[in-house]
Amino acid sequence: MATSSDASASFEEADTRSEEMHSTIEAWVDDLVDAVDDAQSSEAFQEWLDVQSRFHDYSYRNTLLIKQQCPEATKVAGYRTWQEEFDRHVKEGESAIWIWAPIIAKRCPECENSQSYHEESDCAYDETPPEEWSKGLVGFNPAPVFDVSQTDGEPLPELDTAATGEAGDLVSWLTEAAEELGVAVRIVSEEEWPHGDAKGVCKPLRGSEGDALVEVKDRANQADLAGTLIHEYAHALLHTGTEDEAERAKREVEAEAVAYVVGRYFDLDMSGSAFYLAAWESDDPEAVRERLGRISRTAQDVIDCLID
């Protein structure tokens, strides 16, 4: 379908192709590791981390409540928190998202009730007076929160992870290569996009279309659309059927590194991948290099499909 316009990475000589491809991808992964290091120490990333740290890590139960009431929610906080922590204000007429807020109070060491409930219970504990009890969770109260989309004010810092450059026909080449890669692909308009803030998703699929379904949100930036397609193809090739949530960050490292390598082969500016990986694997950029074998093989498979 195509070859890279970068003669140093054309991989056209059959007798040296495999070795050249491997060494070039290894060098590019080294570049990506260095770029992630630089991204982590950047002022933009540190500002983003600072803001992220102010958002609560909600329990699974509260996460479900939020998604049921506002499926597109991405960042939620209380009314005053938006004002005091982020200099943003809830827009007039917005409906609250209701969650369960923990009640923390001094509680009986035996029945674990607050003093008032302890006194009404059958618990006979009296070894220490209530004023000496430790604080702990004694219950939950309904509490209102609001998504960032329901607020106005100072913008939150964003990490620019988008690929840029001249994509040419790369998006159409990628959609044509989907069947050979065992992937069904759908490009969904922004108006009909059902997956919130995500740019793309990859889901297991059993049927004639392929082993996985990749859906990506359409956008004007064709280079970024191509990068998202490659990222989700990598998930399809590497991670279909993997359910372990503990592996999620590692899977993102692999998929984005594949997107970086393939995008770079086609002369896209993939420097935003460094911010993407810094956000997912902020403590260990070496994780990219540690997974070089899987990244390299998958990137080569995708490139092979596109240049045949």
pLDDT at 173: 96
- Sorted by sequence, the CB contacts under 8 Å of residue 125 that are 6+ apart come out as 108, 109, 110, 111, 118
Pairing relation of β-strands 76-77 and 135-147?
antiparallel
pLDDT at 227: 98
CA distance 237 to 298: 7
Mean pLDDT of the chain: 88
Judged against a pLDDT cut of 50, whether residue 14 lies above it is answered with yes
pLDDT band for 296, please (50, 70, 90 cuts): very high
Chain centre distance of CA 106 = 38
Judged against a pLDDT cut of 60, whether residue 207 lies above it is answered with no
- Adjacent-strand bridge partners of 104: 137
**pLDDT per position as a tens digit, 275-289:** 999 988 766 788 888
Judged against a pLDDT cut of 90, whether residue 202 lies above it is answered with yes
Cα–Cα nearest to 28, from 288, 304, 298: 288
- Sorted by sequence, the CB contacts under 8 Å of residue 232 that are 6+ apart come out as 200, 201, 202, 214, 215, 216, 255
Q: Check residues 13 and 143 and name the one with the higher pLDDT.
A: 143
pLDDT at 194: 87
Whether this prediction's pTM lies above 0.85 is answered by no
**pLDDT per position as a tens digit, 241-269:** 666 666 777 889 999 999 999 999 999 99
Q: Check residues 10 and 203 and name the one with the higher pLDDT.
A: 203
Residues 10-22: what's their mean pLDDT?
68
Q: Which of 5-9, 16-20, 28-32, 103-107 has the lowest mean pLDDT?
A: 5-9
CA distance 184 to 205: 8
Judged against a pLDDT cut of 50, whether residue 8 lies above it is answered with no
Phi, psi of 101 (to 5 degrees): -100, 135
Residues 177-193: what's their mean pLDDT?
94
CA torsion 288-291-295-297 (nearest 10°) is 160
**pLDDT per position as a tens digit, 70-103:** 988 889 999 999 999 999 999 999 999 999 999 9
- Sorted by sequence, the CB contacts under 8 Å of residue 237 that are 6+ apart come out as 181, 182, 183, 298, 301, 302
pLDDT at 4: 44
Q: Which of 205-214, 233-242, 246-255 has the lowest mean pLDDT?
A: 205-214
